[in-house]
């Protein structure tokens, strides 16, 4: 397939190129240049008026929460999402698998229509939870990175005594890891140092929530006498999620020891947990990606996430983050953190992308393409979504 007269965000720096040609073969971008030799057998599509941007990567979701949308709007975060006593945990346990799978499938289709071509799910429910997600994904072409979790949470006493992970749970973990892409830990405050260090030996992706709230930060210092972030780093995580209340010193350490941080601004706001200092994180040397987090409290829409991050950072931290920098968080940076061959329109990269109508009513005229994309695009601006060189939503 050859796309002609297409505008693109090209390469690592998302350079805006007003018009070019793209050859796609074997699911990848093979050639990107003004002149490409065309054979009579080539399928050529005229993309005049379209801007192709990389497919968006949602680096943190809990789509099992799809069944509990807005079910609990009042009360502290722990009463909503705490993995042992929170409303979310009770809802997931009481929901019939068929219903859970149906609503997860709806969320996957919703993400696809909004240009999310890859998402990373912190999958609760052990092996059964992973199987539910895989059923939900059947016949939906979206890419999914599944980070599983055994249902085992240690209390304060067990953590203070550095309690081990029971052998039965270790055996369960071994089976679980054969069915998923890695492990997504709820947090250091539900695991002893012994358990975190045991998890650190896992050869697949390792990720953990950390410093999401002031309460979680103070709990770690009060109960264990250690920083929550320092304890989380015992996992040797490839990335951490949130870090909303991490110190500058902790961020510098994270910048050195991990691939990066996934921030979830709208979720933090919805749960009244503050707002991530993205500027400080960047200065500390952290690579940043973005996630939409719990569907229970937040819609899985990265365009809304980028818009909120851009405007709220100015309002709260008095720093305007560049639109290109935010765009990179949902594409190029996400690919770096996950070490996946996605997130860029460049030769040799998997051909995932979103075709945006440049002349749509909300976008025209586009004086600053990167700014227009991160805070003006809506679902109505999306002509089509492509994954691996195949149009999976819409038409071009």
* pLDDT tens figures, 96-120: 889 999 999 999 999 999 999 999 9
- Pair (184, 45) in one structural domain: no
- Pair (229, 354) in one structural domain: no
pLDDT in tens, 239-293: 999 999 999 999 999 999 999 999 999 999 999 999 999 999 999 999 999 999 9
State mean pLDDT over 289-303.
95
- Given a cut of 60, whether residue 80 has pLDDT beyond it is no
State mean pLDDT over 184-195.
97
State mean pLDDT over 386-390.
98
Count CB atoms within 10 A of the CB of residue 164: 14
- Pair (29, 116) in one structural domain: no
Give the per-residue pLDDT at 75: 64
CATH of the domain at 302: 3.20.20.140
Give the per-residue pLDDT at 37: 82
Of 296, 317, 338, the domain-final residue: 338
State mean pLDDT over 316-327.
93
Give the per-residue pLDDT at 319: 85
pTM, two decimal places: 0.94
Residue 106: half-sphere exposure toward Cβ, Cα within 13 Å: 14
- Pair (369, 278) in one structural domain: no
Q: Name the residue range of residue 22's domain.
A: 2-54+343-394
At a CB cut-off of 8 Å and minimum separation 6, what does 227 contact?
A: 217, 220, 221, 250
Structurally, the chain folds into a number of domains equal to: 2
Query: What is the radius of gyration, based on Cα positions, of the chain?
Result: 21
- Pair (124, 228) in one structural domain: yes
- Pair (27, 117) in one structural domain: no
State mean pLDDT over 166-178.
97
- Given a cut of 70, whether residue 82 has pLDDT beyond it is no
Of 320, 338, 356, the domain-final residue: 338
The closest of 244, 222, 221, 241 to 231, measured between CA atoms, is 221
- Pair (326, 228) in one structural domain: yes
Answer whether the bond into residue 365 is a cis peptide, omega within 30°: yes
- Pair (87, 31) in one structural domain: no
- Pair (61, 43) in one structural domain: no
Per cent of the chain over pLDDT 90 is: 87
CATH of the domain at 354: 2.30.40.10
- Residue 62, sorted as left (phi over 0), alpha (psi -120 to 50) or beta, turns out to be beta
Whole-number average pLDDT of the chain: 94
Give the per-residue pLDDT at 78: 59
Give the per-residue pLDDT at 317: 85
- Given a cut of 70, whether residue 30 has pLDDT beyond it is yes
Give the per-residue pLDDT at 280: 96
- Given a cut of 90, whether residue 375 has pLDDT beyond it is yes
Give the per-residue pLDDT at 88: 60
- Pair (35, 150) in one structural domain: no
- Pair (213, 94) in one structural domain: yes
- Given a cut of 60, whether residue 79 has pLDDT beyond it is no
- Given a cut of 70, whether residue 86 has pLDDT beyond it is no
Specify burial of residue 206 (Cβ count, 10 A radius: 0-12, 13-18, 19+).
Answer: buried
Task: Characterize 111-149 residue by residue with b for buried, 16 or more Cβ atoms within 10 angstroms of its Cβ, and e for exposed.
Answer: bbebbbbbbbbbbbbbbebbebbeebbeeeebbbbbbbb
- Please count the residues of the chain: 396
- Pair (209, 237) in one structural domain: yes
């Amino acid at each position: 397939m050859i796309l002609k007269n297409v505008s693109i965000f090209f390469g690592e720096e998302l350079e805006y190129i007003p018009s070019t040609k793209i050859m796609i073969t074997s699911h990848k971008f093979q050639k990107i240049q003004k002149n490409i030799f065309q054979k009579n057998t080539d399928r050529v599509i005229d993309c005049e008026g379209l801007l192709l941007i990389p497919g968006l990567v949602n680096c943190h979701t809990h789509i099992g929460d799809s069944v509990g949308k807005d079910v609990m709007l009042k009360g502290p975060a722990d009463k909503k999402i705490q993995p042992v006593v929170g409303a979310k945990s009770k809802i997931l346990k009481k929901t019939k698998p068929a219903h859970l799978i149906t609503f997860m499938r709806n969320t996957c289709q919703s993400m696809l229509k909004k240009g999310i071509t890859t998402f990373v799910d912190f999958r609760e429910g052990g092996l059964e939870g992973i199987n539910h997600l895989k059923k939900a994904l059947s016949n939906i072409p979206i890419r999914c990175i599944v980070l599983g979790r055994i249902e085992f949470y240690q209390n304060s006493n067990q953590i203070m005594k550095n309690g081990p992970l029971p052998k039965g749970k270790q055996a369960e973990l071994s089976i679980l890891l054969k069915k998923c892409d890695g492990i997504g830990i709820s947090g250091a405050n539900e695991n002893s140092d012994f358990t975190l260090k045991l998890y650190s030996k896992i050869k697949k992706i390792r990720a953990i929530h950390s410093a999401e709230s002031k309460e979680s930060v103070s709990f770690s210092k009060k109960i264990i006498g250690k920083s929550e972030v320092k304890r989380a780093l015992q996992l040797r995580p490839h990335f951490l999620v949130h870090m909303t209340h991490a110190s500058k010193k902790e961020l510098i350490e994270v910048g050195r020891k991990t691939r990066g941080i996934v921030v979830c601004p709208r979720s933090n706001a919805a749960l009244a947990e503050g707002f991530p200092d993205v500027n400080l994180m960047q200065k500390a040397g952290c690579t940043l990606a973005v996630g939409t987090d719990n569907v229970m409290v937040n819609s899985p829409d990265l365009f809304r996430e980028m818009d909120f991050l851009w405007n709220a950072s100015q309002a709260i931290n008095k720093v305007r983050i560049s639109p290109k920098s935010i765009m990179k968080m949902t594409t190029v940076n996400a690919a770096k953190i996950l070490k996946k061959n996605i997130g860029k329109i460049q030769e040799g990269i998997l051909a995932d992308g979103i075709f945006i109508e440049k002349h749509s009513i909300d976008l025209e005229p586009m004086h600053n393409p990167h700014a227009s994309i991160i805070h003006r695009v809506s679902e109505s601006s999306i002509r089509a979504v492509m994954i691996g060189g195949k149009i999976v939503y819409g038409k071009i």
